[in-house]
């Protein structure tokens, strides 16, 4: 009889690792002091709290997020979020006891970490726009790729008091 060789499914390993890192966070967040002081967010429309809205300037009226139904169920006005209410990042902030994360562009938090800062831009890509244009892919609304967001983050870090 051949020796028994148990193979652990990759999904079980992934679940075990996620629990390993998540459980300490959950227990820490149940204490009277907060685990985290701020949220720093990167991404696309799933996390953009108004950066594209502010980047567009005078052309903001052409963006769908500048008119209803966007924002009407929670904020009761448009906020630049591509949602009729809150985004996942808003629920994360609420669950951590933090205020909603404000957009970096044109924001008061562009030189202070305060309670967090959001670099996400609706329509952002992981690859730079130069690379995508070389492939014949054009995004007329934004060129705020992850690389651009990281550049903003570096500028932001450089502006913080030591």
Provide the pLDDT for residue 11: 66
The boundaries of the domain holding residue 134 are 38-159
Residues 46-84: pLDDT tens digits?
999 888 888 887 677 778 777 888 888 888 888 888 888
Which pLDDT band, with edges at 50, 70 and 90, does 19 fall under? low
In a domain, 8, yes or no: no
Is residue 146 a part of any domain in this protein?
A: yes
Query: Would you say residue 95 lies in a domain?
Result: yes
Q: How much is the mean pLDDT over the chain?
A: 78
Distances (CA, A) of 155 to 25, 82, 111, 119, 149: 29, 26, 9, 12, 10
CA distance 39 to 84: 22
Tokens found for residue 32: 């009277």
Q: Is residue 93 part of a domain?
A: yes
Residue 21 maps to a domain: no
CA distances from 76 to 45, 69, 98, 106 (A): 19, 9, 21, 22
Rounded CA-CA distance 152/144 in Å is: 10
Asked if residue 26 is part of any domain, the answer here is no
pLDDT at position 130 is: 85
Question: What is the average per-residue pLDDT within 104-131?
Answer: 80
Task: Please provide the distance, in angstroms rounded to a whole number, between the alpha carbons at the two ends of the chain.
Answer: 67
- 36-55: pLDDT as tens digits: 888 999 999 899 988 888 88
Q: Considering the domain boundaries, does residue 89 fall inside one?
A: yes
Number of domains comprising the chain: 1
Q: Looking at the whole model, is its pTM more than 0.85?
A: no
């Amino acid at each position: 009889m051949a020796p028994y060789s148990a193979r652990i499914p990759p999904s079980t390993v992934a679940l075990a690792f996620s629990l390993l890192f998540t459980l300490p966070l959950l227990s820490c967040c149940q204490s009277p002091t907060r685990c985290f002081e701020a949220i720093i967010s990167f991404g696309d429309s799933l996390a953009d709290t108004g950066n594209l809205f502010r980047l567009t300037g005078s052309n903001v009226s052409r963006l769908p997020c500048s008119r209803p139904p966007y924002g009407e169920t929670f904020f009761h006005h448009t906020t630049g979020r591509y949602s009729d209410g809150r985004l996942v990042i808003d629920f994360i902030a609420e669950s951590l006891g933090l205020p909603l994360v404000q957009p970096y562009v044109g924001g008061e938090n562009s030189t202070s970490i305060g309670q967090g800062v959001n670099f996400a831009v609706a329509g952002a890509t992981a690859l730079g726009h130069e690379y995508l244009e070389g492939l014949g892919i054009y995004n007329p609304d934004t060129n705020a790729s992850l690389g651009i967001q990281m550049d903003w983050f570096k500028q932001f870090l450089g502006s913080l008091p030591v």
